[in-house]
Amino acid sequence: MIEPVRVAPRAAVALVTGASRGLGRTLAGFLAGQGYAIIATARGEADLSSVAREIQARGGTCEAIAGDVSDEAHRARLLEAARRLGGLHLLINNASDLGPTPLPSLSALPPDALRKVMEVNLVAPLSLLQETLPLLEASGGTVVNISSDAAVGGYPGWGAYGASKAALDLLSKTLAEELRGRRVAVVSVDPGDMRTKMHQDAYPGQDISDRPLPDVTLPFFAWLFAQDAMRATGRRFQAQSSVWEVAA
């Protein structure tokens, strides 16, 4: 009797942007440990390659594809990688542009700088969702858009970044309603203050060692990914809040 060939099921696939450092790197490693095949992207090729090596050394799967998420050709490469790995189950739009540093006031912000921040922080996440939507719909996938407390804070100097994240929050809520019938969930997450290069760039010369490292958010993300995604869709979460809940 010929034994049937048993084909191991493919792992769920997660695409993490801004994955070379900070929160993105932390989430890529965490998700790989949960069994996801990772597509990691960021502009820093050397740091991104080290992320892939770390994941692969632990027996995980990681394709590192360096580039700018605001570039259409680069996004096409990410989409092709997802197809090659068998689909897309989780999209984390984490890549962000802070804008000029030291942070200028909005009254002094060059229009071209605002356009660049919006392209990376708002237009690129929407474009990436649009381009990967057939794969997300096929898997009943989830989109996590990384927001910020600057979206609601009105902090001096943070106007461009905060405006882009406020718009991303509304985009997330709107998409959640539009895609509910297609079983694609969309949430936004404010990870809170963290000790990252971006945060240091915002405060050059200042000591930010009192901020926690990005892994402080992992209990929240472990909880979030264990929820029924369609019950969570449309929500804005705070990863360092003392209360996480999904409406009934």
Which three-class secondary structure state does DSSP give residue 212?
coil
Q: Which two tokens stand for residue 15?
A: 């695409």
161 is catalytic: yes
Question: What separation in angstroms does the CA of 86 have from each of 66, 91, 187, 238?
Answer: 20, 14, 23, 31
- Per-residue pLDDT tens digits for 238-248: 999 988 887 55
pLDDT interval class at 212 (50, 70, 90): confident
For the residues 215-240, what does the mean pLDDT come to? 96
- Per-residue pLDDT tens digits for 108-146: 999 999 999 999 999 999 999 999 999 999 999 999 999
- What is the DSSP annotation of 151-190? HHH--TT-HHHHHHHHHHHHHHHHHHHHHGGGT-EEEEEE
Q: Which two tokens stand for residue 189?
A: 């997450």
Predicted confidence at residue 83, as pLDDT, reads 97
pLDDT interval class at 7 (50, 70, 90): very low
Please tell me which residue in 36, 155, 161, 203 is annotated as part of the active site. 161
Task: For 3-100, list the strands marked E by DSSP.
Answer: 13-17, 37-42, 62-66, 90-93
Q: Nearest-CA neighbor of 93 among 14, 205, 149, 207?
A: 14
Which three-class secondary structure state does DSSP give residue 80?
helix
- Per-residue pLDDT tens digits for 79-103: 999 999 999 999 999 999 999 999 9
Our CA dihedral for 133, 174, 19, 202, rounded to 10 degrees, sits at 160
Predicted confidence at residue 243, as pLDDT, reads 84
Fold of 13-229: Rossmann fold (3.40.50)
pTM of the model: 0.92
Q: At what angle do helices 159-179 and 111-118 cross, to 10 degrees?
A: 30
Q: Which two tokens stand for residue 119?
A: 């392209």
Burial of 44 (C-beta count, 10 Å sphere; 0-12/13-18/19+): middle
- Per-residue pLDDT tens digits for 144-167: 999 999 999 999 999 999 999 999
Angstrom distance (rounded) from CA 120 to CA 69: 7
Predicted confidence at residue 10, as pLDDT, reads 66
142-146/236-238 β-pairing: unpaired
pLDDT interval class at 208 (50, 70, 90): low
Angstrom distance (rounded) from CA 216 to CA 26: 10
pLDDT interval class at 4 (50, 70, 90): very low
Predicted confidence at residue 11, as pLDDT, reads 85
Predicted confidence at residue 6, as pLDDT, reads 34
Predicted confidence at residue 193, as pLDDT, reads 83
